Structure 1
Amino acid sequence: MFGDIMGMMGKLKETQEKVEATKKRLHTVLIDEASNDNLLKVTITANREIKSIEVSDQLLEDKEQLEDYLILTINKAIEKAGAVHESEIAAVAKEGMPNIPGLDGIFK
């Protein structure tokens, strides 16, 4: 009985380390997003850190339009980054979870 618990604890610790390593790796996963007309481009990491923003000269002439473009494009990039982040972390966590009845549906 205690051997099973110790084995599970070891597996959970190993999984936690893998999750942390995955989080670090996600700093290097870049997601590019652009406005529909490509006047604004954003690059963000899977950890939702903005790496670059490219703005067309055309957008610099209209502050309100630029603000709208920034909000829409950055939000789309954050949504994509969040999806990548969650799926990567869930995959690592699911892989390392011990077989506990009732918990098999958590990471689907």
Structure 2
Amino acid sequence: MFGDLMGMMGKLKETQEKVEATKKRLDTVLIDEQSTDGLLKVTITANRSIKSLKIDDALLEDKEQLEDYLILTLNKAIEKATEINETEIAAVAKDGMPNIPGMDLFK
């Protein structure tokens, strides 16, 4: 019984390390998003950290329009990054979970 418990604890520790490594790797996964007309371009990591913004000069003339562009484009990029992040972390966590009867958390 204790051998199984120790084995499970080891497996959980290994999974935690893999999750942390995946989080670090996701800092290098870049998501590019742009407005439909290409006047605003955003690059963020899969951990939702903004890496770059490129704003066309035409948007600098209308503050309200620029704000709208930023909100829409950043939200699209964040949505994509969140999806990638959650999928990657869930895959690592599911793969590393010990087989405990009745604990089918990731099905």
Q: RMSD value over aligned CA atoms?
A: 0.8
Q: Does 1:5 align with 2:5?
A: yes
Corresponding residue pairs, total: 107
SS of structure 2 residue aligned to 1:28? coil
Write the deviation string for residues 52-90 of structure 1: whole angstroms up to 9, x where unpaired.
000011111111000000001001100100000000000
Q: Does 1:40 align with 2:40?
A: yes
Query: Which residue of structure 1 lines up, in the alignment, with residue 56 of structure 2?
Result: 56
TM-score under structure 1 length normalisation:
0.96
Partner Cα separation in structure 2 for residue 35 and residue 102 of structure 1 = 46
- Give % identity: 81
Partner Cα separation in structure 2 for residue 8 and residue 92 of structure 1 = 16
Moved over 6 A (4+): none
TM-score under structure 2 length normalisation:
0.97
Q: Does 1:68 align with 2:62?
A: no
Query: Which residue of structure 2 lines up, in the alignment, with residue 21 of structure 1?
Result: 21
Question: What residue ranges of structure 2 are gaps of 5+ in the alignment?
Answer: none
Q: Does 1:107 align with 2:73?
A: no
Amino acid at match of 1:107: F
